[in-house]
Amino acid sequence: MFLKSLSLQNFRNYDKSDFNFAKDIAVVIGKNTAGKTNLVESIFYLSTGRGSKAEKDADIIRFGETTARISGEIEDKTELSVVVSRENSEERETIRKKHLVNGVAKRRADFAGHLVCVLFSPEDLDIITSGPSLRRRLLDDLLEQVDKDYRNAVITYTKALRQRNALLDNARESGVRNEKLFEYWDNLLIDNAAVITKKREEFVQFINDFSKEIFDFIVYYDKSILSAARLLQYKEAEVGAGVTLVGPHRDDLSFSMFNAPSGGQGTTHDIKTFGSRGQQRLTILQLKIIQLAFIEKTIGQKPTLILDDIFSELDAGHISLVLDMLGNQQSIVTTTHKEFIDPKILKNADVIELKAR
Ligand X SMILES: Nc1ncnc2c1ncn2[C@@H]1O[C@H](COP(=O)(O)OP(=O)(O)O)[C@@H](O)[C@H]1O
Among 2, 4, 5, 13, binds ligand X (CB under 6 A): 13
C-beta of 37 vs 286, nearer to ligand X: 37
**36 interacts with ligand X by CB under 6 A:** yes
Q: Which does 288 bind (CB under 5 to 8 A by kind): Mg ion, ligand X, none?
A: none
Length of the chain, in residues: 357
Stretch that binds ligand X, among 28-36, 181-189, 229-237, 275-283 (CB under 6 A): 28-36
Task: Using the minimum distance from each CB to Mg ion, give the nearer residue, 123 or 252.
Answer: 123
Candidate segments 60-68, 135-143, 145-153, 285-293, binder of ligand X by CB under 6 A: 60-68
Strand (E) or helix (H) holding 95: strand 93-101
Buried b (16+ CB within 10 A) or exposed e, 15-39: eebebebeeebbbbbbeeebbbbbb
Q: How far is CA 169 from CA 117, 204, 312, in A?
A: 38, 34, 47
81/121 with CB nearer Mg ion: 121
- Least separation in angstroms between CB 11 and ligand X: 8
Q: Choose, by CB under 5 A, the member of 17, 37, 81, 244 that binds Mg ion.
A: 37
Which range of residues in 55-63, 136-144, 209-217, 288-296 is near ligand X by CB under 6 A? Answer: 55-63
Phi-psi region of 48 (alpha: psi -120 to 50; beta: other; left: phi over 0): alpha
Residue type at position 142:
L
- Residues 128 and 266: their CA atoms lie apart, in Å, by 22
Contact between 244 and 189 under an 8 Å Cβ cutoff? The reply is yes
**Residue 37 binds ligand X (CB under 6 A):** yes
Query: Could you say whether residue 335 binds Mg ion (CB under 5 A)?
Result: no
DSSP 116-166: -EEEE-GGGGHHHHS-HHHHHHHHHHHHHHH-HHHHHHHHHHHHHHHHHHH
Q: Between 291 and 320, how does the x/- string for binding to Mg ion read (CB under 5 A)?
A: ------------------x-----------
Q: Does 329 bind Mg ion (CB under 5 A)?
A: no
121 sits near ligand X (criterion: CB under 6 A): no
By beta-carbon proximity to ligand X, the closer residue of 129 and 312 is: 312
SS3 call for 194? helix
Q: Does 36 bind Mg ion (CB under 5 A)?
A: yes
Q: Which amino acid is at 192?
A: N
Please, what is the minimum distance in Å from the beta carbon of residue 28 to Mg ion? 10
Residue closer to Mg ion (CB basis): 122 or 242: 122
What CA dihedral angle connects 207, 211, 217 and 218, to 10 degrees?
40
**38 touches Mg ion by CB under 5 A:** no
Per partner kind, with CB cut-offs from 5 to 8 A, the member of Mg ion, ligand X, none near residue 77 is none
Query: Which of 352, 334, 344 has the alpha carbon at shortest distance from 122?
Result: 334
The rounded distance, in Å, linking the Cα atoms of 74 and 214 is 32
Binding residues for ligand X, rule: CB under 6 A, are: 12-13, 30, 32-38, 59, 61-63
Binding residues for Mg ion, rule: CB under 5 A, are: 36-37, 309
